[in-house]
């Protein structure tokens, strides 16, 4: 220990995220932001630690980790996802050179802490509301263990508000909060049942309002990502909470726009969709995965087999919510025609933001256990679903699978196909007139002006860019701000496809 007992110094480290679909690295420069989202998990952990402890947070996506930070710290708390593995390893090496005591938790450690046994002093795994108090009690008594784990699912209505004072909000494009944990579904490839369970636990409505009110008082205005595993996993509580959220947003004159994740059965509840739009939601991410029924059955995505996915997407977008969606190739049941069928499916339904990835076997999932039994697991994997890495032997010839995957990404994010999808979307999108902003905000206006040079003058696809802007401005002027954002996102996706 470098400091006195009651003056413990904690350094939180969030390692850098590589260029991926969700990093929006090529789009951030237009909005003059350094990262898409803040490290919500570490900010919440900070609030769970004793208030008298000194705390600093280094998000390596927005700031450098300096030697003086490591020299200052008594303990380093580090967290991250599988895709951050290399950056985590690098950060741990630096901690070791300064002989820092390291405490690790979060997704990559909860399912794979054995890979880091030599670099980490204490693993505080699973949900922090349960395991952190156990660690703190043992630490206080001078007998902290190597590993803390628990299958207990805590009541998150007692979870404290994240310690937002540890970061500068201006560095981020979107803020994040959490309303619920858990998802009632049991998809074979998903690790949510391991991480957060299948019973959707929610915070109270007063708690949620308090959290967004704190962000409001910190001066945040703009996008707010509700990072739930499945926002509608507990529909009853969501519907009970929604009128209070609507009322708060009206009184504050809609300072935020919400986006979240949900399952496709959202389309079955027009009343809930209407309430979400009324509350200021404008985007929802849905795992559509594949148009191949056999592949949906294979991965236990039975909910999607009971729906006309195209009609469901259309219903949600007609109500005023943009559907972003995830798609997967690499299932054992995928035919060789999957690549063309995914392209046709994505273009038909007008999902502009379409995340397509190769199937990966996350540690501990049903898919992982099945492939292990079959002797098909491979050791090395980046954790990214967009770099063509796989951690298992697929049924389809690997070279054909990778070439087909690259073809999907290259095709759907070619400017011609991407802009075609934008037009399909805005024809179906029917936002509520009283809520939808038909004018660009100041940040959007500045981003638009910057894009005029990069996309409208320098870019080799500038003719398509100008055609999209002109068509949307004269035919669909109310959604012009959305089209500006789409154009900037499209540049990011196109650059990412070139980097593959």
Q: Name the token pair of 158.
A: 């007692």
- Tokens matching residue 72: 């200052």
Write out pLDDT tens, residues 27-55. Answer: 999 999 999 999 999 999 999 999 999 99
pLDDT of residue 1: 45
pLDDT tens, position by position, 370-379: 999 999 999 8
pLDDT confidence tier of residue 171, bands split at 50, 70 and 90: very high
Query: What is the distance between the alpha carbons of residues 72 and 10, in angstroms, rounded to a whole number?
Result: 9
C-alpha pair distances (Å), 81 with each of 111, 185, 333, 368: 10, 22, 28, 17
Residue (of 13, 7, 169) closest to 103 by Cα position: 13
- Report residue 496's pLDDT band, with 50, 70 and 90 as the boundaries: confident
- 3-state SS class at 14: strand
Q: Give CA–CA dist 409/68, Å, rounded.
A: 43
What's residue 3's pLDDT?
47
d(CA 257, CA 52): 35
pLDDT band at 442 (very low <50, low <70, confident <90, very high): confident
Q: Quote the pLDDT of residue 388.
A: 85
Both structure tokens of 200 = 């959707």
Enter the DSSP assignment of 265.
Answer: G
- Cβ atoms 346, 354 nearer than 8 A: yes
Q: To the nearest whole percent, how much of the chain has pLDDT over 70?
A: 97
The yes-or-no verdict on residue 385 having pLDDT over 70 is: no
Residue 346 CA, distance from chain mean position: 20
pLDDT at 436 over 70: no
SS3 assignment, position 102: strand
- Residue 441, number of CB atoms within 10 A of its CB: 13
Separation between Cα atoms, residue 500 and residue 494, nearest integer Å: 10
Q: Please, are residues 162 and 47 in contact by the beta-carbon 8 Å criterion?
A: yes
How far apart are alpha carbons 310 and 290 in whole angstroms?
A: 11
pLDDT tens digits, residue range 395-415?
Answer: 999 999 999 999 999 999 999
Query: How far is residue 266's CA from residue 314's CA, in Å, rounded to a whole number?
Result: 12
Q: What angle do CA 125, 126, 132 make, to 5 degrees?
A: 60
pLDDT of 319 higher than 90? yes
Q: In the prediction, which pLDDT does 387 show?
A: 81
């Amino acid at each position: 220990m470098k400091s006195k007992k009651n003056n413990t110094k904690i350094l939180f480290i969030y390692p850098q995220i590589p260029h991926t679909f969700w990093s929006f690295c090529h789009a951030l420069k237009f909005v003059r932001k350094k990262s898409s989202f803040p490290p919500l998990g570490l900010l919440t952990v900070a609030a769970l630690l004793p208030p008298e402890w000194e705390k600093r947070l280094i998000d390596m996506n927005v700031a450098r980790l300096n030697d003086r930070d490591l020299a200052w710290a008594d303990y380093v708390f580090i967290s991250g996802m599988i895709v951050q593995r290399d950056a985590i390893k690098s950060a741990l090496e630096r901690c070791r050179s300064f002989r820092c005591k390291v405490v690790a938790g979060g997704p990559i450690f909860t399912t794979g802490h054995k890979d880091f046994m030599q670099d980490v002093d204490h693993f505080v795994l699973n949900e922090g509301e349960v395991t952190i108090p156990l660690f703190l009690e043992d630490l206080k008594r001078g007998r902290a263990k190597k590993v803390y784990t628990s299958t207990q699912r805590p009541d998150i209505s007692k979870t404290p508000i994240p310690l937002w004072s540890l970061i500068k909000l201006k560095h981020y494009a979107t803020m994040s909060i959490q309303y619920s944990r858990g998802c009632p579904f049991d998809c074979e490839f998903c690790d949510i049942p391991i991480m957060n369970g299948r019973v959707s636990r929610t915070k109270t409505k007063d708690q949620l309002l308090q959290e967004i009110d704190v962000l409001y008082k910190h001066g945040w205005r703009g996008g707010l990502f509700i990072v739930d595993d499945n926002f509608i996993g507990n529909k009853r509580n969501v519907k009970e909470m929604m009128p209070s959220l609507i009322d708060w947003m009206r009184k504050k004159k809609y300072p935020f726009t919400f986006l979240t994740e949900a399952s496709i059965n959202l389309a079955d509840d027009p009343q809930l969709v209407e309430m979400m739009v009324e509350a200021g939601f404008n985007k929802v991410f849905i795992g559509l995965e594949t148009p191949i029924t056999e592949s949906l059955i294979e991965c236990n995505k039975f909910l999607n087999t009971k729906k006309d996915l195209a009609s469901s997407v259309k219903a949600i977008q007609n109500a005023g919510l943009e559907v972003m969606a995830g798609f997967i190739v690499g299932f054992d049941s995928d035919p060789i025609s999957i690549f063309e069928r995914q392209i046709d499916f994505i273009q038909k339904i007008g999902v502009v933001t379409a995340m397509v990835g190769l199937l990966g076997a996350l540690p501990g999932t049903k898919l992982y256990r099945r492939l292990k039994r079959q002797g098909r697991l491979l050791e090395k994997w980046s954790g990214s679903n967009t770099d063509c890495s796989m951690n298992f032997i697929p049924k389809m010839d690997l070279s054909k699978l990778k070439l087909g995957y690259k073809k999907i990404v290259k095709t759907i994010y070619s400017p011609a196909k991407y802009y075609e999808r934008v037009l399909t979307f805005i024809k179906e999108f029917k936002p509520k007139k009283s809520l939808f902003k038909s004018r660009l905000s100041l940040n959007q206006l500045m981003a638009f002006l910057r894009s005029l040079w990069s996309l409208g003058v320098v870019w080799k696809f500038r003719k398509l860019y100008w055609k999209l802007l002109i068509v949307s401005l004269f035919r669909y002027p109310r959604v012009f701000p959305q089209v500006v954002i789409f154009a900037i996102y499209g540049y990011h996706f196109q650059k990412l496809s070139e980097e593959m």
